[in-house]
Amino acid sequence: MAALLTVMTYFGNPLLPVIFGVAGIVSWATWHYLSKRVAHLLVPRRARRAILVLQRAPKEVQPSVFRLSFYSTLFTFSIISLGAEVFDYPIESFEGLAMATVYLIILLPLAFFVPAKLVIENSGIVMVTDGDVEEVPAYPYIDEFLGFGAMLGFTLTLSRFLASYASNLAIGFVYALIFFVFQLYPALIASLLYVRLSYHKAAGELRDRLKPLIARVSVFITCYRCGTRLAGREVVCPHCGAPLRGLPPPPIG
């Protein structure tokens, strides 16, 4: 319980909300400046080479504040946990939490790629390639990095607690969760400011960079053999008699 008491004592510091508030505002300002300049760089090359169509008005879509803060916290949580393991500073102590706060103030602004990713995913732009229509994605390795980093960070935090105190898995789990929530607060401030004040400007910058068509994409169903347009309720093609239900179509040619 000593580590949990340390955490509660640390959270009781009246300066902590002020520090976290400043960290959130600084992070938002950094995200505001950088995300609109890098968002187009996170669009995969195959999407930039495709036909891009803007299907939804800019004001119809807006990212979730919690989702943005959660993803950015995954980034800081994984880096701080890994740093504690590499540089061997005790995050379960008062001094370790103070060090983690310093790292959080530095790292959270560097998570500007997270709002840039959500700008892409909520842009309302789709890409049309070889008859396929899908929303323009960001590079997939971002999700993989955040997911793997969060799992690694949680494991390192839990193992460090269990190595320093009694091998109580339940308390260790609670401590790791508190350590995560500890980093979520400034991310929530930055995310709220970004969604309210910066998102639409960044989305407009992305559209200016990608220059999508302003149009509607219509999907038509056609026979795989003769290309006759179908209503979607047929069992066989009314033109060539090809079966449309059951087994996959045989290769053509």
Q: Give me 33's structure tokens.
A: 């400046």
The total number of structural domains in the chain stands at: 2
Residue 25 is predicted with a pLDDT of 94
**In sequence order, what are the residues at sequence separation of 6 or more whose Cβ sits closer than 8 angstroms to the Cβ of residue 212?**
52, 53, 54, 125
Radius of gyration of the chain, Cα coordinates, nearest whole angstrom:
24
Q: Give me 130's structure tokens.
A: 């070889």
Residue 223 is predicted with a pLDDT of 86
CB 104 within 8 Å of CB 23: yes
Are 17 and 100 found together in one domain?
yes
Residue 250 is predicted with a pLDDT of 59
Are 213 and 230 found together in one domain?
no
What are the b/e assignments for 178-210, b being 16+ CB within 10 Å? ebbebbbbbbbbbbbbbbeebbeebbebbbeeb
Are 119 and 235 found together in one domain?
no
What are the b/e assignments for 70-102, b being 16+ CB within 10 Å? bbbbbbbbbbbbebbbeeebbbbbeebbebbbe
**In sequence order, what are the residues at sequence separation of 6 or more whose Cβ sits closer than 8 angstroms to the Cβ of residue 193?**
24, 25, 28
Residue 32 is predicted with a pLDDT of 95
Per the DSSP assignment, residues forming a β-bridge with 135 are 126
Are 203 and 241 found together in one domain?
no
Are 212 and 248 found together in one domain?
no
Are 121 and 228 found together in one domain?
no
Residue 62 is predicted with a pLDDT of 75
Residue 114 is predicted with a pLDDT of 93
Are 74 and 171 found together in one domain?
yes
pTM of the model: 0.76
Cα-based distances in Å from 234 to 220, 226, 247, 248: 14, 14, 15, 15
Q: Distance between CA atoms of 4 and 174, rounded to whole angstroms?
A: 9
Are 101 and 225 found together in one domain?
no
Nearest Cα residue to 118 out of 65, 75, 81: 65
Residue 4 is predicted with a pLDDT of 43
pLDDT of the chain along its 253 residues, tens only?
444 444 444 455 667 777 788 889 999 999 999 999 999 999 988 888 888 888 766 555 678 899 999 889 888 888 888 887 777 777 666 666 677 777 888 899 999 999 999 999 888 888 887 767 888 888 888 888 888 887 887 777 777 776 665 556 666 677 667 777 777 888 999 999 999 999 989 998 998 998 888 877 777 788 888 888 888 888 888 888 888 887 665 555 5
Residue 39 is predicted with a pLDDT of 92
Placement of tokens 């891009």 in the chain: 52
Are 204 and 225 found together in one domain?
no
The domain in which residue 24 lies consists of: 2-219
Query: Rounded to the nearest 5°, which phi and psi values hold at 229?
Result: -70, 135
Helix (H) or strand (E) holding 1: none
Are 168 and 232 found together in one domain?
no
Are 71 and 138 found together in one domain?
yes
Are 142 and 250 found together in one domain?
no
Residue 5 is predicted with a pLDDT of 44
